[in-house]
Amino acid sequence: MIKNRANFSSRKYVVIAIFSVVVLVLLIKLFMIQVVDQSYKHSSDNNTLRYITQYPARGKVYDRNGRLMVYNEAIYDLMVIPRQVKNLDTLDFCSSLDITREFFQERMAKARRYSTFSPSVFLAQITKEEYGKIAENLHKYPGFYFQTRSVRNYPYPVAAHTLGNIGEVSKKDLEKDSYYKTGDYIGKSGVEYFYEKELRGDKGLKIIVVDVHNREKESFMDGQFDTLPVAGKDIYLGLDAELQLYGERLLKDKTGSIVAIEPSTGQILAMVSSPAYDPNELVGRVRGENYKKLLNDSLKPLVNRATSGIYPPGSTFKMINGLIVLQSGVVTPKSAFPCYGKESQPIRCTHSHNSPVALYEAIENSCNPYFWETFREMFASSRFSSSKEAYSYWYDMVVSFGLGSTFKTDIPSELAGNIPKSSYYEKLYRGSWNALTIRSLSIGQGEILVTPLQLANMAAAIGNEGFYYPPHLIKSFSDDTPIDSALTTKRIIDIKPKHFKDVKIGMCRVFEGEHGTARMSQIDSIQVAGKTGTAENPHGDDHSLFMGFAPADNPQIAIAVVVENAGFGSQWAAPIASLMIEKYLRGYIKNTNKEKRFLE
């Protein structure tokens, strides 16, 4: 069996040496971490590590002039690690926290279900005063500790719909994004929701050695494994806090909304929805209760009427029709049409004025027959081979103003409104329809529905003479992160600027002409262009509408006002718009008599 071969049996010493050296290296390393390196040590008295999330400061929100609108205030969450709860005097614990035994058991069960050895929020949002009371007795309750958190605070009690609020993350949020842990806060609506990623910042982590008596002893390994939180970005909105506040005061005790836009940027200057509520009501432990109250209010204060209230635009829509017929070449500003006042067919005129009327007077007097006649002329024009073709031309122009769809920017809860497609009428009238069938559209009634936001944007587009920037809330971030380029991209309307100029002349006469529907709302030394509207409302009294901009030749503010069930546009919407414009452009109201009836 044994063959004559080189004998390598002495090589066993090399192999044994390799085994021994490797085991020795392992032992040396073990000696280093078990005996030499004291930082791993928390001796054998049952110390444990506690991982404390370091919450970053959520970004603040400022208005366009740097006025603080949202900031953070410290509160405390009482955390529990169920495994570490030992020998708890439940009665004493409950009485010092002022909670019932049932509540205690329910919260503990919930925490245990989540995890027995990871922390859960036991009691959220404890105020500074309550915190002081409990903190001194905390050593009696092992397994419980405090975590500092912050809640939002709003120095201006306004713009609740726009700013939105934060609340505990839902199950869905937890599944969608691993950044969140149970009990974390997340933006639920408005700016807080849309800019959540920017505002939240990055969490940090602190590892602390805790002894058996629930006392925090020291930072683990000198904080070698700790990470610092990174504060969220601050946001500057296009909103003007003072203007917003003024707007909310003007609409107090009314139902309706105001939207003001800076035409040269598309930034929202004010967005009022009334009835409103104080955003501070939806903060802290009172949030749930107040939310329920607001939800059940018959006036629906939680609905943002500025973006999701939809109304027939009424006479304000005549500007669009005027522009389209001019662009189609069927009429010129000189083309005049007769008006028979109340005898007019098929739509009567509600104002008394000269006849015939051309564009400027027609706008000044809000003459229904003029806009019906021009609408009819366009449909009858040899340019178009059918009603359907004419309608498609009209439709494309209308939607290029941003009507009939949402802007999809950072504005919350937008509704699209309604501009019917030709297919809608094809189906409704089985292919047999013409201008007469859809005549209500010529005066902004019928199926057309718009939101106040769309109406304000329409005013901005007319003020700009043919383009607009999609309306949005953000102005800039505190660092130099650029805002979404879609927000700063011009959208152009395919109508010649000269037609806009003609319509503008008419809109100025609404304020300046002797029959102008808003002549009572003129502002000393500021030229306003605008149009009132009285929208027929099948559910009750007419809505009072206004849209316009100022100064007429170089608009700095475009505005839309809707006051529900208030009657004529000239009575409510126009004066409110005029006050807003003066407040924004001048900073104060020169003739305070004008605001008296709103502010009392």
Partner 1 sequence: MTTRNNIIGKIDWWLLAMYCALVVIGVSAIYAAAFNEAHPSLFDLSQHYGKQFLFAGVSVFLGLLILLIDAKFFNTFAYVIYGFSILLLLYVLVGGSTIAGSKSWIQFGGFSFQPSEFAKFGTALALAHYLGGVNTDFSKMKTQAIAYGLVLFPMMLVLMQGDAGSSLVFLVFILVFYREGMSGKILIIGFVAIVLFLLTLYFSKWYVLIGVAVVSVAIVFLIERTKKNILKLIAVFAVSAVFIFSVDFFFYDILKQHQRTRINIILGIEKDIYGVGYNLHQSKIAIGSGGFAGKGYLQGTMTKYNFVPEQHTDFIFCTIGEEFGFIGSFVLLSLYLALLIRIIFLAERQRSPFSRIYGYAIASIIFFHLMVNIGMTIGLLPVIGIPLPFLSYGGSSLLMFSLMFFVFLKQDANRMNIL
Which helix (H) or strand (E) is 410 found in, with range?
none
2 binds partner 1 (CB under 8 A): yes
Among 3, 342, 430, 597, binds partner 1 (CB under 8 A): 3
The smaller minimum CB distance to partner 1, of residues 14 and 486, is found at 14
17 binds partner 1 (CB under 8 A): no
Q: How far apart are CA 543 and CA 96, in angstroms?
A: 55
DSSP 38-96: GGG--TTTT-EEEEEEEPPPPPPEE-TTS-EEEEEEEEEEEEE-GGG--S--HHHHHHH
Q: How far apart are CA 333 and CA 326, in angstroms?
A: 7
Which helix (H) or strand (E) is 579 found in, with range?
helix 573-586
The smaller minimum CB distance to partner 1, of residues 6 and 129, is found at 6
Peptide bond into 313 cis (omega under 30): no
87 binds partner 1 (CB under 8 A): no
- Stretch touching partner 1 by CB under 8 A, among 29-37, 91-99, 451-459, 550-558: 29-37
Q: How far apart are CA 141 and CA 218, in angstroms?
A: 19
54 binds partner 1 (CB under 8 A): no
Nearest alpha-carbon partner for 495 in 529, 444, 461, 450: 461
- Stretch touching partner 1 by CB under 8 A, among 34-42, 303-311, 410-418, 518-526: 34-42
588 binds partner 1 (CB under 8 A): no
Nearest alpha-carbon partner for 360 in 338, 333, 378, 335: 333
86 binds partner 1 (CB under 8 A): no
Q: Rg of the chain over CA atoms, in angstroms?
A: 34
Kindly state the smallest distance separating residue 49's Cβ from partner 1, in Å.
7
The smaller minimum CB distance to partner 1, of residues 9 and 481, is found at 9
The smaller minimum CB distance to partner 1, of residues 19 and 429, is found at 19
37 binds partner 1 (CB under 8 A): yes
* Binding characters for partner 1, 96-135, by CB under 8 A (x = yes): ---------------------x------------------
User: In the window 371-430, what residues touch partner 1 (CB under 8 A)?
Assistant: none
The smaller minimum CB distance to partner 1, of residues 22 and 286, is found at 22
540 binds partner 1 (CB under 8 A): no
228 binds partner 1 (CB under 8 A): no
Report how many helices (DSSP H) and strands (DSSP E) the chain contains, helices first.
20, 18
- Stretch touching partner 1 by CB under 8 A, among 47-55, 261-269, 406-414, 552-560: 47-55
User: Sign of dihedral through CA atoms 579, 583, 585, 588?
Assistant: positive
Nearest alpha-carbon partner for 438 in 458, 422, 416: 422
Cβ atoms 199, 228 nearer than 8 A: no
Among 8, 296, 588, 600, binds partner 1 (CB under 8 A): 8
18 binds partner 1 (CB under 8 A): yes
> What SS3 state is found at 34?
helix
The smaller minimum CB distance to partner 1, of residues 41 and 128, is found at 41
Among 30, 295, 436, 520, binds partner 1 (CB under 8 A): 30
Q: 440: which 2 tokens?
A: 């209500």
Among 65, 83, 106, 405, binds partner 1 (CB under 8 A): 83
How many Å from the N-terminal Cα to the C-terminal Cα in the chain?
118
Q: 298: which 2 tokens?
A: 């018959």
- Stretch touching partner 1 by CB under 8 A, among 17-25, 449-457, 517-525, 563-571: 17-25
Q: How far apart are CA 483 and CA 507, in angstroms?
A: 34
- Stretch touching partner 1 by CB under 8 A, among 11-19, 128-136, 160-168, 546-554: 11-19
- Stretch touching partner 1 by CB under 8 A, among 32-40, 157-165, 378-386, 400-408: 32-40
Among 95, 109, 225, 354, binds partner 1 (CB under 8 A): 225
- Stretch touching partner 1 by CB under 8 A, among 44-52, 96-104, 241-249, 323-331: 44-52
Helices (H), 251-386: 287-296, 305-308, 318-328, 359-365, 368-380
Kindly state the smallest distance separating residue 222's Cβ from partner 1, in Å.
14
Kindly state the smallest distance separating residue 196's Cβ from partner 1, in Å.
21
User: Sign of dihedral through CA atoms 434, 436, 437, 440?
Assistant: positive
Kindly state the smallest distance separating residue 48's Cβ from partner 1, in Å.
5
Helices (H), 209-349: 241-250, 287-296, 305-308, 318-328
Which helix (H) or strand (E) is 547 found in, with range?
strand 543-550
Among 22, 74, 295, 399, binds partner 1 (CB under 8 A): 22
Q: How far apart are CA 278 and CA 429, in angstroms?
A: 48
354 binds partner 1 (CB under 8 A): no
Kindly state the smallest distance separating residue 8's Cβ from partner 1, in Å.
5
Q: 451: which 2 tokens?
A: 């939101």
Positions in the binding site for partner 1 (CB under 8 A): 1-3, 5-6, 8-9, 11-12, 14-16, 18-20, 22-23, 25-27, 29-31, 33-35, 37, 39-44, 46-49, 83, 117, 225
